[in-house]
Amino acid sequence: MGRGPQAVVLSKMNMKFFRTIGALAMGVALCIPAAHGQSTKLFQPSAKQMQSIRKMLAGEKPQTKTAAKPRTLLPARFGGWARGAVRAVKPAAENAAALKEFGFKRGEEAEYSRGADKVAVRVMEFPDATGAYGAFTMLRSSGTETVRIGPKEPVKVASNSGKDHEKPQAVVPPLTYFNGAYAGDHFLFWKGDLLVDATFAQPVEGEMAETQSLEAALPQTMGTKGIAPVLPEQLPMEGLDAGSVRYAIGPAGYQQEGGVLPSAVMDFDTDAEVVMARYGKGTLTLISYPTPEIAQAREAAIASVLKSGVVPGPKEAERVKRAGPLVAMTSGGFTGAEADALLKRVHFQGTVSFDQLKPEESEVAKTAKLLVGIASLTVILGLAAILLGFFLGGGRALYRVMRGKPASSVTDEEFIALDLNKPPAVRGETARDKAAGE
C-alpha cells in the first residue's frame, strides 16, 4: 500500500536530520584539538601576510613577484668546446633601429676554447622566429653561401599526375629551410627566436660539423614562436638568388636592406611585411598586407610613385602588380619583357597548417571502445545504486535505532494489517457481516 502521512513526515525528518548531522560533523572536525594542549585555528595569517594586509588597508599596492630568471642563451659546452666568460652585448649603432623593429631583446657573447682553437660566439634573442629571420637577412653579407645548419629533413618526392609510370619529382624545400650562411671561418644562422654569429679565430678542421654541434646545444624554441614567416615562400624560385633575400617589417629595416620605395608609401603602420630578392640584374619586391583592399590601395599609391620618377633605374624595369593581399614590384636592370615575365609568376598561395593529423580508427576499434564505454557506465550506475541504497536505507535504520526503535518498521504499531487468514470471530465480524456473507 501507499505511504501514509506519517511516513512522509518521517522521510522529511530524515533529510533534515542528515543535513544537521553533516553540519555538526564538519564543525566538530574543525574544533578537534590538533595536539594535546593545542587547538586548531581556521585561519592564522603569517607575519608576512599580516604585513601585506596592513599595506592593503593603508592603500599601498602589494609587491609583485620578481620576474623569472631569463634562460641562458649560450651553452656551457658543445662538442669538445668549453665556454669562457659570458658578456652582455648590444647591437651596433647602425643596426639598432632596424633590430628594434625586429624586437631585439638581449644578447650574449663568449669565447669557446678547445685546446689552442678558439671560436667567438654571439647570440641575439628576439620575440619569435620572424625577428630572428629578419635580422639574419639584414646582417648576412653579400657573397656568402646559403646552407642548412641543423637537423636535415628527409627529401620528399611528388608526382604531378600521380601515374605510376612517371618518375616522381623532388619537392623543393622551403626557402627558410636554409637557415645559415657562411664565408671562410664566419658562420651566421638563426634557430627559432635566436640569431647566432660564430667566428673561428683560425681555420679548424670540420668547422661546419662544429657549427652543427653548436646549433644542437642551443635552447629550443617552443610553440608558434619558432615558426618562420611565410612571405619569403611567395617568391618565385626559378632564377632566384637565395643569398640576396632580404626581409623587413619596418621602415628602418627596409631602408637599411636597400629598399627603393619611400617608407611612407609602404604604409608599415598596417602591419605590412616586405621581402626583396634579386633575379639576374633586377630586383623583385613583394609587400604583404592584411587584406586585399589595403593591397589594392597601396598598389595605386606605388604606381603613382613609380610614375613620378623617384625610384632610380630604367623606367622599363618598373612594373607593379597585385595578387590578393600581395603587391609585387620590379626594379633594377630588367628589360620590360623580363619584368612582365617575372610578375606573371607571382601568385598568392594561401597556406593551411595542421598541428597533428588524427589517425583513422578501424571499425573494430570503434566497436571495442563502445562496448568498454557501456560496461563502464553499467558498473558506475550499479555502484551508485548500491551507495544510494546504503545511505538512504542505512541512514533511516540508524535514525530508528537512535530513537530506541527496531531498525525495521515492519513491526511498528502503525503498520496496517488485514489479517485475512484468521477466523471470522477473531477478526471481530459482526452478525450483520455474517448475514451479508450468507
More confident residue, 106 or 412: 106
Q: Pairing between strand 180-183 and 273-279?
A: unpaired
pLDDT, residue 178, reads 94
More confident residue, 371 or 414: 371
> Are the CB atoms for 326 and 348 separated by under 8 Å?
yes
Average pLDDT over residues 397-411: 74
Q: What is the pLDDT of residues 18-29, one digit of tens each?
A: 555 554 444 444
Residue 233, CA atoms < 13 Å, CB-side half-sphere: 13
Adjacent-strand bridge partners of 248? 274
pLDDT band for position 399 (50/70/90)? confident
Beta-carbon neighbour count of residue 381 at 10 Å? 10
CA distances from 286 to 26, 49, 255, 259, 307 (A): 71, 58, 15, 11, 19
Q: State the Cα–Cα distance between residues 252 and 98, nearest whole angstrom.
A: 5
Residue with cell 651566421: 188
pLDDT, residue 400, reads 78
Q: State the Cα–Cα distance between residues 162 and 56, nearest whole angstrom.
A: 71
pLDDT band for position 241 (50/70/90)? very high
Residue type, 324: G
Average pLDDT over residues 238-256: 95
The three cell numbers locating residue 335: 628589360
- Whether residue 77 has pLDDT greater than 50: yes
pLDDT, residue 313, reads 84
Residue with cell 612571405: 231
pLDDT, residue 434, reads 52
Lowest mean pLDDT among 13-22, 189-198, 284-293: 13-22
Adjacent-strand bridge partners of 278? 283
pLDDT, residue 387, reads 85
Lowest mean pLDDT among 3-17, 78-92, 137-151, 252-266: 3-17
pTM of the predicted model as reported, rounded to 2 decimal places: 0.65
Lowest mean pLDDT among 250-259, 368-377, 405-414: 405-414
- Label residues 25-46 b or e (16+ Cβ within 10 Å = b): eeeeeeeeeeeeeeeeeeeeee
Q: State the Cα–Cα distance between residues 235 and 278, nearest whole angstrom.
A: 10
pLDDT, residue 287, reads 97
Mean pLDDT computed over every residue of the chain = 81
- Whether residue 13 has pLDDT greater than 90: no
Of 397, 396, 399, 415, nearest to 407 by C-alpha is: 397
**All domains of the chain, ordered by start, with CATH?**
1-43 (no CATH), 70-158+171-229 (3.40.1000), 230-350 (no CATH), 363-437 (no CATH)
pLDDT, residue 366, reads 83
pLDDT, residue 118, reads 97
Q: How far is CA 180 from the centre of its chain?
A: 26
DSSP per-residue letters across 319-336: EEEEETTEEEEEEES--H
Beta-carbon neighbour count of residue 194 at 10 Å? 22
Average pLDDT over residues 320-341: 95
Q: What percent of the chain has pLDDT over 70?
A: 70
Average pLDDT over residues 245-267: 95
Of 306, 340, 343, nearest to 327 by C-alpha is: 343
SS3 318: coil
pLDDT, residue 436, reads 54
- Whether residue 64 has pLDDT greater than 80: no
The three cell numbers locating residue 279: 633575379
Name the helix (H) or strand (E) containing 106.
strand 106-114
The three cell numbers locating residue 321: 602588380
- C-alpha torsion sign, points 211, 138, 277, 231: positive
pLDDT, residue 413, reads 58
More confident residue, 50 or 272: 272
Average pLDDT over residues 408-434: 59
More confident residue, 2 or 323: 323
More confident residue, 384 or 172: 384
- Whether residue 9 has pLDDT greater than 70: no
**Could you tell me if residue 103 is left (phi over 0), alpha (psi between -120 and 50 degrees) or otherwise beta?**
left
pLDDT, residue 412, reads 59
Give the dihedral of Cα atoms 372, 378, 379, 384; nearest 10 deg: 150
SS3 194: strand
SS3 283: strand
H, E, C per residue of 76-121: CEECCEEECCCEECCCCHHHHHHHHHCCCCEEEEEEEEECCEEEEE
pLDDT, residue 2, reads 46
- DSSP class of residue 76? S
pLDDT, residue 349, reads 75
- Whether residue 280 has pLDDT greater than 60: yes
- Whether residue 139 has pLDDT greater than 80: yes
